[in-house]
Protein backbone atom coordinates (compact mmCIF):
# COMPACT_ATOMS: atom_id res chain seq x y z
CA UNK A 1 0.00 0.00 0.00
CA UNK A 2 2.91 2.34 0.61
CA UNK A 3 3.60 2.49 -3.11
CA UNK A 4 0.25 4.27 -3.56
CA UNK A 5 -0.46 7.94 -2.94
CA UNK A 6 -1.27 8.72 0.69
CA UNK A 7 -4.92 9.47 -0.02
CA UNK A 8 -5.45 6.29 -2.03
CA UNK A 9 -3.77 4.29 0.68
CA UNK A 10 -6.02 5.86 3.29
CA UNK A 11 -9.12 5.04 1.32
CA UNK A 12 -8.08 1.40 0.95
CA UNK A 13 -7.30 1.15 4.63
CA UNK A 14 -10.70 2.49 5.56
CA UNK A 15 -12.46 0.21 3.11
CA UNK A 16 -10.75 -2.80 4.66
CA UNK A 17 -11.65 -1.63 8.14
CA UNK A 18 -15.38 -1.16 7.60
CA UNK A 19 -16.49 -4.78 7.58
CA UNK A 20 -19.40 -5.29 9.97
CA UNK A 21 -19.67 -1.63 10.88
CA UNK A 22 -22.14 -0.36 13.47
CA UNK A 23 -23.55 3.06 14.22
CA UNK A 24 -22.50 5.06 17.25
CA UNK A 25 -24.63 8.10 18.13
CA UNK A 26 -22.83 11.17 19.44
CA UNK A 27 -24.83 12.02 22.58
CA UNK A 28 -26.92 15.18 22.25
CA UNK A 29 -25.26 16.38 19.03
CA UNK A 30 -27.42 15.03 16.19
CA UNK A 31 -24.26 13.41 14.85
CA UNK A 32 -23.53 9.82 13.87
CA UNK A 33 -20.21 8.07 13.62
CA UNK A 34 -19.51 4.64 12.18
CA UNK A 35 -17.30 2.26 14.09
CA UNK A 36 -15.85 -1.07 12.98
CA UNK A 37 -16.76 -4.13 15.02
CA UNK A 38 -13.27 -5.48 14.47
CA UNK A 39 -10.05 -3.73 15.38
CA UNK A 40 -8.21 -1.60 12.83
CA UNK A 41 -4.58 -2.71 12.62
CA UNK A 42 -2.22 0.15 13.52
CA UNK A 43 1.43 -0.81 13.81
CA UNK A 44 3.41 -4.01 14.26
CA UNK A 45 4.61 -3.11 17.73
CA UNK A 46 1.25 -1.91 19.06
CA UNK A 47 -0.10 -4.07 21.83
CA UNK A 48 -3.13 -6.06 20.75
CA UNK A 49 -5.37 -4.70 23.48
CA UNK A 50 -4.51 -1.08 22.68
CA UNK A 51 -5.01 -1.59 18.94
CA UNK A 52 -8.47 -3.03 19.57
CA UNK A 53 -9.48 0.22 21.26
CA UNK A 54 -9.01 2.28 18.07
CA UNK A 55 -12.16 2.53 15.96
CA UNK A 56 -12.63 4.01 12.46
CA UNK A 57 -14.90 7.05 12.41
CA UNK A 58 -17.00 8.69 9.74
CA UNK A 59 -18.87 11.99 9.91
CA UNK A 60 -22.57 11.66 9.12
CA UNK A 61 -24.63 14.69 10.12
CA UNK A 62 -28.37 14.17 10.13
CA UNK A 63 -30.23 16.37 7.65
CA UNK A 64 -32.57 17.44 10.43
CA UNK A 65 -29.66 19.17 12.19
CA UNK A 66 -28.81 21.15 9.04
CA UNK A 67 -32.45 22.08 8.49
CA UNK A 68 -32.68 23.29 12.10
CA UNK A 69 -29.54 25.41 11.62
CA UNK A 70 -31.04 27.16 8.59
CA UNK A 71 -34.31 27.80 10.42
CA UNK A 72 -32.46 29.39 13.32
CA UNK A 73 -30.38 31.54 10.98
CA UNK A 74 -33.54 32.76 9.19
CA UNK A 75 -35.07 33.69 12.54
CA UNK A 76 -32.06 35.68 13.78
CA UNK A 77 -32.90 38.78 15.81
CA UNK A 78 -30.19 41.32 15.06
CA UNK A 79 -28.94 44.12 17.35
CA UNK A 80 -28.53 47.74 16.34
CA UNK A 81 -25.53 48.76 14.26
CA UNK A 82 -22.32 49.57 16.13
CA UNK A 83 -21.65 53.23 16.79
CA UNK A 84 -18.05 53.19 15.51
CA UNK A 85 -16.52 52.72 12.08
CA UNK A 86 -14.17 49.90 13.04
CA UNK A 87 -14.17 46.57 14.93
CA UNK A 88 -13.47 48.10 18.34
CA UNK A 89 -16.98 47.15 19.54
CA UNK A 90 -16.79 43.65 18.03
CA UNK A 91 -17.88 41.99 14.80
CA UNK A 92 -19.48 44.66 12.60
CA UNK A 93 -23.17 44.23 11.89
CA UNK A 94 -23.18 44.56 8.09
CA UNK A 95 -20.28 42.16 7.57
CA UNK A 96 -21.64 39.60 10.00
CA UNK A 97 -25.12 39.78 8.48
CA UNK A 98 -23.69 39.12 5.03
CA UNK A 99 -21.74 36.10 6.29
CA UNK A 100 -24.65 34.66 8.28
CA UNK A 101 -27.10 35.08 5.42
CA UNK A 102 -24.71 33.19 3.15
CA UNK A 103 -24.39 30.55 5.87
CA UNK A 104 -28.15 30.05 5.79
CA UNK A 105 -28.58 30.02 2.01
CA UNK A 106 -25.42 29.27 0.03
CA UNK A 107 -23.09 27.36 2.34
CA UNK A 108 -22.91 23.56 1.95
CA UNK A 109 -21.81 21.54 5.00
CA UNK A 110 -21.77 18.32 2.97
CA UNK A 111 -18.63 19.54 1.19
CA UNK A 112 -16.92 19.98 4.55
CA UNK A 113 -18.10 16.56 5.63
CA UNK A 114 -16.64 15.06 2.45
CA UNK A 115 -13.26 16.69 3.14
CA UNK A 116 -13.11 15.02 6.53
CA UNK A 117 -14.37 11.67 5.30
CA UNK A 118 -11.70 11.59 2.57
CA UNK A 119 -9.18 11.22 5.39
CA UNK A 120 -8.69 8.32 7.81
CA UNK A 121 -10.43 9.28 11.05
CA UNK A 122 -10.62 7.31 14.26
CA UNK A 123 -11.77 7.48 17.86
CA UNK A 124 -10.28 5.87 20.92
CA UNK A 125 -11.29 6.06 24.56
CA UNK A 126 -8.63 7.39 26.92
CA UNK A 127 -9.33 8.12 30.57
CA UNK A 128 -13.03 7.55 29.95
CA UNK A 129 -13.35 10.05 27.08
CA UNK A 130 -13.62 9.36 23.37
CA UNK A 131 -10.86 11.16 21.46
CA UNK A 132 -11.39 11.84 17.75
CA UNK A 133 -8.33 12.09 15.53
CA UNK A 134 -7.14 12.10 11.94
CA UNK A 135 -4.19 9.82 11.25
CA UNK A 136 -2.40 9.92 7.90
CA UNK A 137 0.72 7.84 7.37
CA UNK A 138 3.24 8.94 4.79
CA UNK A 139 4.21 6.55 2.01
CA UNK A 140 7.83 7.30 2.95
CA UNK A 141 9.11 4.50 5.15
CA UNK A 142 11.15 6.65 7.57
CA UNK A 143 8.57 9.38 8.14
CA UNK A 144 8.77 11.22 11.48
CA UNK A 145 5.49 11.03 13.44
CA UNK A 146 4.07 14.39 14.57
CA UNK A 147 0.99 15.08 16.68
CA UNK A 148 -0.49 18.51 15.85
CA UNK A 149 -2.93 20.26 18.17
CA UNK A 150 -5.38 23.02 17.25
CA UNK A 151 -6.74 25.69 19.59
CA UNK A 152 -9.84 27.90 20.02
CA UNK A 153 -11.73 28.89 17.96
CA UNK A 154 -9.98 26.52 15.60
CA UNK A 155 -10.48 22.82 14.95
CA UNK A 156 -9.05 20.04 12.83
CA UNK A 157 -10.30 22.01 9.82
CA UNK A 158 -7.56 24.62 10.26
CA UNK A 159 -4.91 21.90 9.87
CA UNK A 160 -6.18 19.95 6.86
CA UNK A 161 -4.10 21.84 4.27
CA UNK A 162 -0.77 20.88 5.87
CA UNK A 163 -1.41 17.13 5.71
CA UNK A 164 -0.35 16.82 2.06
CA UNK A 165 2.86 18.88 2.35
CA UNK A 166 3.89 17.01 5.50
CA UNK A 167 3.12 13.45 4.40
CA UNK A 168 4.14 13.88 0.75
CA UNK A 169 6.94 16.47 0.80
CA UNK A 170 8.34 15.64 -2.64
CA UNK A 171 5.12 16.99 -4.16
CA UNK A 172 5.49 20.24 -2.21
CA UNK A 173 9.10 21.33 -2.57
CA UNK A 174 10.56 19.04 0.07
CA UNK A 175 12.61 15.86 0.11
CA UNK A 176 11.50 12.30 0.81
CA UNK A 177 13.50 12.31 4.05
CA UNK A 178 11.41 15.31 5.23
CA UNK A 179 8.22 13.25 5.46
CA UNK A 180 5.95 13.06 8.51
CA UNK A 181 3.23 10.74 9.68
CA UNK A 182 0.51 13.12 10.86
CA UNK A 183 -1.82 12.73 13.83
CA UNK A 184 -4.39 15.52 14.35
CA UNK A 185 -6.66 15.03 17.38
CA UNK A 186 -9.69 17.07 18.34
CA UNK A 187 -9.23 18.55 21.79
CA UNK A 188 -11.55 17.19 24.51
CA UNK A 189 -14.79 19.17 24.37
CA UNK A 190 -14.14 20.19 20.76
CA UNK A 191 -15.45 18.79 17.49
CA UNK A 192 -16.06 15.06 17.47
CA UNK A 193 -14.14 14.31 20.67
CA UNK A 194 -16.15 13.61 23.80
CA UNK A 195 -17.16 16.34 26.24
CA UNK A 196 -15.73 16.03 29.76
CA UNK A 197 -18.49 15.71 32.36
CA UNK A 198 -16.14 16.21 35.30
CA UNK A 199 -13.42 18.72 36.07
CA UNK A 200 -9.73 17.98 35.68
CA UNK A 201 -9.38 18.08 31.91
CA UNK A 202 -6.75 20.82 31.84
CA UNK A 203 -3.88 20.94 29.35
CA UNK A 204 -1.63 18.88 31.63
CA UNK A 205 -4.21 16.11 31.50
CA UNK A 206 -4.60 16.45 27.73
CA UNK A 207 -0.80 16.23 27.34
CA UNK A 208 -0.82 12.86 29.11
CA UNK A 209 -3.70 11.70 26.90
CA UNK A 210 -1.78 12.70 23.75
CA UNK A 211 1.22 10.68 24.93
CA UNK A 212 -1.05 7.67 25.45
CA UNK A 213 -2.57 8.19 22.00
CA UNK A 214 0.84 8.12 20.32
CA UNK A 215 1.74 5.04 22.31
CA UNK A 216 -1.43 3.29 21.16
CA UNK A 217 -0.57 4.13 17.57
CA UNK A 218 2.72 2.30 18.03
CA UNK A 219 5.01 5.32 17.82
CA UNK A 220 8.14 4.98 19.92
CA UNK A 221 9.66 8.34 18.89
CA UNK A 222 7.75 11.39 17.74
CA UNK A 223 7.47 15.19 17.87
CA UNK A 224 4.61 17.55 18.75
CA UNK A 225 3.37 20.84 17.30
CA UNK A 226 0.78 23.31 18.52
CA UNK A 227 -0.52 26.85 18.35
CA UNK A 228 -2.96 28.67 20.63
CA UNK A 229 -4.35 26.10 23.13
CA UNK A 230 -2.27 23.53 21.25
CA UNK A 231 0.90 25.36 22.24
CA UNK A 232 -0.11 25.12 25.91
CA UNK A 233 -0.63 21.37 25.47
CA UNK A 234 2.80 21.09 23.85
CA UNK A 235 4.46 23.01 26.68
CA UNK A 236 2.86 20.56 29.11
CA UNK A 237 4.04 17.59 27.05
CA UNK A 238 7.58 18.97 27.01
CA UNK A 239 7.53 19.44 30.80
CA UNK A 240 6.23 15.93 31.32
CA UNK A 241 8.74 14.52 28.77
CA UNK A 242 6.88 11.25 28.06
CA UNK A 243 8.88 8.38 26.65
CA UNK A 244 9.35 8.89 22.92
CA UNK A 245 8.77 12.64 22.68
CA UNK A 246 11.79 14.12 20.90
CA UNK A 247 10.82 17.80 20.97
CA UNK A 248 8.12 20.36 20.26
CA UNK A 249 7.40 23.22 17.85
CA UNK A 250 5.07 26.04 18.91
CA UNK A 251 3.79 29.15 17.18
CA UNK A 252 2.43 30.81 20.31
CA UNK A 253 5.29 30.31 22.79
CA UNK A 254 5.34 31.09 26.50
CA UNK A 255 8.19 33.59 26.52
CA UNK A 256 7.05 36.80 28.29
CA UNK A 257 9.47 37.30 31.24
CA UNK A 258 8.06 37.62 34.78
CA UNK A 259 8.97 41.30 35.18
CA UNK A 260 7.25 42.12 31.88
CA UNK A 261 4.24 40.06 32.94
CA UNK A 262 4.01 42.05 36.13
CA UNK A 263 4.21 45.41 34.41
CA UNK A 264 1.55 44.44 31.90
CA UNK A 265 -0.80 43.10 34.58
CA UNK A 266 -0.46 46.27 36.63
CA UNK A 267 -0.75 48.61 33.67
CA UNK A 268 2.60 50.13 34.57
CA UNK A 269 5.52 51.33 32.47
CA UNK A 270 7.91 48.99 30.72
CA UNK A 271 10.65 47.52 32.91
CA UNK A 272 14.08 49.13 32.60
CA UNK A 273 16.71 47.56 30.39
CA UNK A 274 14.54 46.40 27.50
CA UNK A 275 16.06 46.50 24.04
CA UNK A 276 14.35 48.48 21.30
CA UNK A 277 12.71 45.36 19.91
CA UNK A 278 11.65 44.14 23.34
CA UNK A 279 10.16 47.54 24.12
CA UNK A 280 8.18 47.43 20.86
CA UNK A 281 6.75 44.03 21.84
CA UNK A 282 5.90 45.33 25.32
CA UNK A 283 4.07 48.32 23.82
CA UNK A 284 2.13 46.06 21.45
CA UNK A 285 1.06 43.77 24.31
CA UNK A 286 0.07 46.75 26.44
CA UNK A 287 -2.07 48.18 23.65
CA UNK A 288 -3.61 44.75 23.05
CA UNK A 289 -4.77 44.58 26.66
CA UNK A 290 -6.00 48.16 26.88
CA UNK A 291 -8.15 47.74 23.77
CA UNK A 292 -9.94 44.75 25.29
CA UNK A 293 -8.71 42.24 22.73
CA UNK A 294 -8.47 39.58 25.44
CA UNK A 295 -12.11 40.07 26.53
CA UNK A 296 -13.22 36.73 25.08
CA UNK A 297 -10.36 35.00 26.94
CA UNK A 298 -11.34 36.55 30.28
CA UNK A 299 -15.01 35.62 29.91
CA UNK A 300 -14.39 32.02 28.83
CA UNK A 301 -11.87 31.51 31.61
CA UNK A 302 -14.26 32.98 34.21
CA UNK A 303 -17.80 32.00 33.14
CA UNK A 304 -17.79 29.48 30.27
CA UNK A 305 -21.25 28.18 31.10
CA UNK A 306 -22.78 31.64 30.77
CA UNK A 307 -21.04 32.10 27.42
CA UNK A 308 -22.38 28.73 26.32
CA UNK A 309 -26.09 29.55 26.69
CA UNK A 310 -26.16 32.25 24.04
CA UNK A 311 -23.73 30.55 21.67
CA UNK A 312 -25.60 27.26 21.85
CA UNK A 313 -28.94 28.92 21.07
CA UNK A 314 -27.98 31.36 18.31
CA UNK A 315 -25.91 30.57 15.20
CA UNK A 316 -25.38 34.30 14.62
CA UNK A 317 -24.25 34.68 18.21
CA UNK A 318 -21.79 31.83 17.81
CA UNK A 319 -20.39 33.32 14.59
CA UNK A 320 -20.04 36.77 16.14
CA UNK A 321 -18.28 35.36 19.21
CA UNK A 322 -15.81 33.30 17.19
CA UNK A 323 -15.03 36.21 14.90
CA UNK A 324 -14.17 38.45 17.86
CA UNK A 325 -10.96 36.44 18.21
CA UNK A 326 -8.04 38.74 17.30
CA UNK A 327 -6.66 36.03 15.02
CA UNK A 328 -9.49 36.90 12.65
CA UNK A 329 -8.95 40.67 12.91
CA UNK A 330 -7.39 40.90 9.44
CA UNK A 331 -9.77 38.39 7.84
CA UNK A 332 -11.80 39.96 5.04
CA UNK A 333 -14.89 37.76 5.45
CA UNK A 334 -14.14 35.97 2.21
CA UNK A 335 -14.19 39.05 -0.04
CA UNK A 336 -10.95 37.79 -1.59
CA UNK A 337 -11.62 34.16 -2.66
CA UNK A 338 -7.90 33.61 -3.21
CA UNK A 339 -7.00 34.35 0.39
CA UNK A 340 -7.12 31.58 2.96
CA UNK A 341 -9.16 30.94 4.99
CA UNK A 342 -12.04 31.52 2.58
CA UNK A 343 -15.61 32.27 3.59
CA UNK A 344 -16.56 28.60 3.23
CA UNK A 345 -13.52 27.42 5.18
CA UNK A 346 -14.31 29.65 8.14
CA UNK A 347 -17.92 28.50 8.02
CA UNK A 348 -16.71 24.89 8.04
CA UNK A 349 -15.10 25.66 11.37
CA UNK A 350 -18.04 27.61 12.83
CA UNK A 351 -20.52 24.97 11.65
CA UNK A 352 -18.49 22.25 13.32
CA UNK A 353 -18.84 24.07 16.65
CA UNK A 354 -22.59 24.41 16.03
CA UNK A 355 -23.33 20.84 14.94
CA UNK A 356 -21.33 19.28 17.76
CA UNK A 357 -22.85 21.67 20.33
CA UNK A 358 -19.37 22.41 21.63
CA UNK A 359 -19.51 26.15 22.37
CA UNK A 360 -19.72 25.66 26.14
CA UNK A 361 -17.54 22.55 26.36
CA UNK A 362 -14.73 24.17 24.36
CA UNK A 363 -14.96 27.36 26.42
CA UNK A 364 -14.50 25.29 29.57
CA UNK A 365 -10.98 24.44 28.44
CA UNK A 366 -10.07 28.05 29.31
CA UNK A 367 -11.68 27.69 32.74
CA UNK A 368 -9.82 24.43 33.33
CA UNK A 369 -6.53 26.24 32.77
CA UNK A 370 -7.43 28.92 35.29
CA UNK A 371 -6.98 31.77 32.84
CA UNK A 372 -3.21 31.23 32.76
CA UNK A 373 -1.62 33.24 29.99
CA UNK A 374 -0.41 31.13 27.07
CA UNK A 375 2.45 33.56 26.39
CA UNK A 376 3.75 33.87 29.97
CA UNK A 377 6.96 31.96 30.66
CA UNK A 378 6.04 31.66 34.34
CA UNK A 379 2.48 30.49 33.67
CA UNK A 380 3.74 27.89 31.18
CA UNK A 381 6.54 26.81 33.54
CA UNK A 382 9.03 26.86 30.70
CA UNK A 383 11.94 26.69 33.17
CA UNK A 384 10.93 23.06 33.72
CA UNK A 385 11.32 22.19 30.02
CA UNK A 386 14.57 20.52 29.01
CA UNK A 387 13.42 18.90 25.76
CA UNK A 388 14.30 20.62 22.45
CA UNK A 389 11.95 23.46 21.53
CA UNK A 390 11.43 25.12 18.14
CA UNK A 391 9.56 28.38 17.50
CA UNK A 392 8.27 30.07 14.37
CA UNK A 393 7.08 33.67 14.59
CA UNK A 394 4.42 34.75 12.11
CA UNK A 395 4.22 38.52 11.48
CA UNK A 396 0.44 38.92 11.77
CA UNK A 397 0.07 36.85 14.94
CA UNK A 398 -1.34 38.36 18.12
CA UNK A 399 2.05 37.93 19.84
CA UNK A 400 5.43 38.13 18.13
CA UNK A 401 8.11 37.21 20.70
CA UNK A 402 11.65 38.55 20.40
CA UNK A 403 14.34 35.91 20.19
CA UNK A 404 15.97 37.17 23.39
CA UNK A 405 12.86 36.32 25.40
CA UNK A 406 12.53 32.96 23.66
CA UNK A 407 16.09 31.93 24.54
CA UNK A 408 15.60 33.07 28.11
CA UNK A 409 12.37 31.05 28.48
CA UNK A 410 13.42 27.82 26.73
CA UNK A 411 16.91 26.71 27.70
CA UNK A 412 17.03 24.13 24.89
CA UNK A 413 15.78 26.29 22.01
CA UNK A 414 17.02 24.59 18.85
CA UNK A 415 15.21 26.67 16.23
CA UNK A 416 13.86 30.23 16.07
CA UNK A 417 12.69 31.77 12.82
CA UNK A 418 10.68 34.87 11.95
CA UNK A 419 8.90 34.40 8.63
CA UNK A 420 7.48 37.08 6.35
CA UNK A 421 3.79 36.14 6.18
CA UNK A 422 1.07 34.40 8.14
CA UNK A 423 -0.84 35.03 11.33
CA UNK A 424 -2.44 33.27 14.28
CA UNK A 425 -3.99 30.56 12.09
CA UNK A 426 -0.77 30.06 10.17
CA UNK A 427 -1.39 26.46 9.11
CA UNK A 428 -4.72 27.59 7.62
CA UNK A 429 -3.39 30.79 6.07
CA UNK A 430 0.02 29.66 4.79
CA UNK A 431 0.04 25.82 4.71
CA UNK A 432 3.08 25.41 2.45
CA UNK A 433 5.17 27.81 4.53
CA UNK A 434 3.95 26.23 7.75
CA UNK A 435 4.92 22.76 6.53
CA UNK A 436 8.34 24.03 5.45
CA UNK A 437 8.85 25.45 8.94
CA UNK A 438 8.10 22.09 10.55
CA UNK A 439 10.54 20.35 8.22
CA UNK A 440 13.28 22.83 9.15
CA UNK A 441 12.41 22.94 12.85
CA UNK A 442 12.54 19.18 13.37
CA UNK A 443 15.36 18.35 10.95
CA UNK A 444 17.96 17.97 13.70
CA UNK A 445 15.70 15.62 15.67
CA UNK A 446 15.43 13.00 12.98
CA UNK A 447 17.61 10.01 14.00
CA UNK A 448 20.66 9.59 11.80
CA UNK A 449 19.83 5.98 11.04
CA UNK A 450 16.45 7.06 9.66
CA UNK A 451 14.34 4.70 11.76
CA UNK A 452 12.09 6.90 13.88
CA UNK A 453 9.15 4.73 14.87
CA UNK A 454 7.47 1.39 14.69
CA UNK A 455 5.65 1.08 11.37
**Which residues are part of the catalytic machinery?**
228, 366, 424
φ and ψ at 225, to 5 degrees? -135, 145
The size of the chain, in residues, is 455
Cis peptide bond upstream of 153, omega within 30:
yes
Three-state SS at 234: helix
Contacts of 276 (CB under 8 A, 6+ apart): none
What Cα–Cα distance (Å) separates residue 370 from each residue in 84, 166, 232, 318, 386?
33, 34, 12, 23, 24
Q: Distance (Å, rounded) from C-alpha 192 to C-alpha 121?
A: 10
First-last CA distance in the chain:
13
φ and ψ at 348, to 5 degrees? -55, -45
Percent helix, strand and coil across the chain, each to the nearest 5: 45, 15, 40
Question: Which of the 8 DSSP states describes residue 273?
Answer: T
Amino acid sequence: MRSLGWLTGCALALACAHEGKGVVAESGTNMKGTAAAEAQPQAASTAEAATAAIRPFKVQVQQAALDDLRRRIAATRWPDKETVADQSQGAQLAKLQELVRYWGSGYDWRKAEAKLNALPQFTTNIDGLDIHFIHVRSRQRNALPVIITHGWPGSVFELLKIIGPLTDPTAHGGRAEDAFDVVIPSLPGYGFSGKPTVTGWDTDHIARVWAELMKRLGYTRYVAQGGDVGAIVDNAMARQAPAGLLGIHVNLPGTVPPEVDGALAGGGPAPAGLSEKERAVFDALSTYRKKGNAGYFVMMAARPQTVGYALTDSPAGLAGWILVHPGFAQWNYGDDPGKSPTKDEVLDDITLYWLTNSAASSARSYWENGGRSPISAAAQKTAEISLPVAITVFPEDVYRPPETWARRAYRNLIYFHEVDKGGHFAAWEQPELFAAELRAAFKSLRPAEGRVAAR
